[in-house]
Amino acid sequence: MTLPWNLYLPIAGNSVNILLVFGMGGIVGLLSGIFGVGGGFLMTPLLIMIGIPPTVAAASDSNQIVGASTSGTIAHFRIGNVDIKMGLLLLVGGVIGGTIGVQLIKVLRALGNADFLISVTYVLVLGFIGTYMFQESLQALRNKPQRLSPRPKSKPSKYALLVQKLPWQMMFEKSGGKLSILMPLFLGSVVGVLAAIMGVGGGFIMVPVMVYLLRMPMHVVVGTSLFQILFTCANVTIMQARTNHTVDFVLALVLLVGSSLGAQFGAKLNKNLKADQLKILLASLVLLMMVKMLFDLLLPPDIKLAYMGGH
């Protein structure tokens, strides 16, 4: 608390300790490099905790993620973990979905109780994804010795059969499979809609979608997710700067120096972790986040007023 360096943030309207913000960036960048998520779920509340207004925290964080995900994408690209073709298709889907999502929120708000619906959906989606991933990777870790024999050979599911029948099949070398381009476009849109409605980057939903529905190898998933997040967050940053003036560049810069360093170490750690270990860690993180959201909703707030624009 008595660290000496302070920096004034002109948009946030507060001063912060450089080392503290740098450290926060480092930790979140590390997670981002390991798991291929933007880390907004962790960073935004941390920033609010040190006195940054919520809207500025969220917008500056997306600016920061641009830096961290660039750094992370390069690190993963070098290891051969980025499927650019898949990433671009997901991105196109994401943009379409995001646009639909923004319109959908307006309709939901007009119907009333939208915020309630959004929060409950969010908690349920996270709970479902987290539990599923956790169970699945736990099983895989337990079955490890005889891993090569029974499990993958089971008969193809209805889902797999359906996916094979779709038109416009394309070879995705990095992801190691043939797939209809409709799949990433459609799933990208779904994640885009969810992300827009919930007001999050979507990495947490995108990663499981790539793993389970696009059947991509875990390591490629992380690199590709980062590649895609880079563009999503660049878009959000410019939009926020243009319409709400909530991007604090000083804050973003200090954060991103920390997080792009963290992302490099994260990518190295990612390489040393096995896919199932990664999955189970990510699942724990998703569940942790769900529990936190649930607590936020259930516990009576200390002060029963908030500035408009927050949350």
Residues that bind another protein (CB under 8 A): 5-8, 10-11, 13-15, 51, 63-64, 66-75, 78, 113, 115-116, 119-120, 230, 234, 237-243, 245, 247-250, 252-253, 256-257, 260-261, 263-264, 296-301, 303-311
Three-class secondary structure of residue 171 per DSSP? strand
**Alpha carbon distance 213, 283 (integer Å):** 16
Q: Which residue, 11 or 285, has its beta carbon nearer to another protein?
A: 11
Q: What amino acid is encoded at 198 in this protein?
A: M
**Alpha carbon distance 35, 39 (integer Å):** 9
Q: Which residue, 233 or 283, has its beta carbon nearer to another protein?
A: 233
Question: Which two structure tokens, joined as six digits, stand for 119?
Answer: 């929060």
Residue 57 CB, shortest distance to another protein, in Å, is: 14
Residue 51 CB, shortest distance to another protein, in Å, is: 7
Q: Which residue, 78 or 106, has its beta carbon nearer to another protein?
A: 78
**Alpha carbon distance 218, 159 (integer Å):** 20
Question: Which two structure tokens, joined as six digits, stand for 95?
Answer: 């943009």
Residue 61 CB, shortest distance to another protein, in Å, is: 11
Residue 266 CB, shortest distance to another protein, in Å, is: 11
Q: Which residue, 53 or 188, has its beta carbon nearer to another protein?
A: 53
**Contact, 89 vs 185, CB < 8 A?**
yes
- Identify any residues that bridge with 8 across adjacent strands, giving them in sequence order: 15
Residue 82 CB, shortest distance to another protein, in Å, is: 12
Q: Which residue, 44 or 189, has its beta carbon nearer to another protein?
A: 44
- String of b and e for 231-240 (b: at least 16 CB within 10 Å)? bbbbbbbeeb
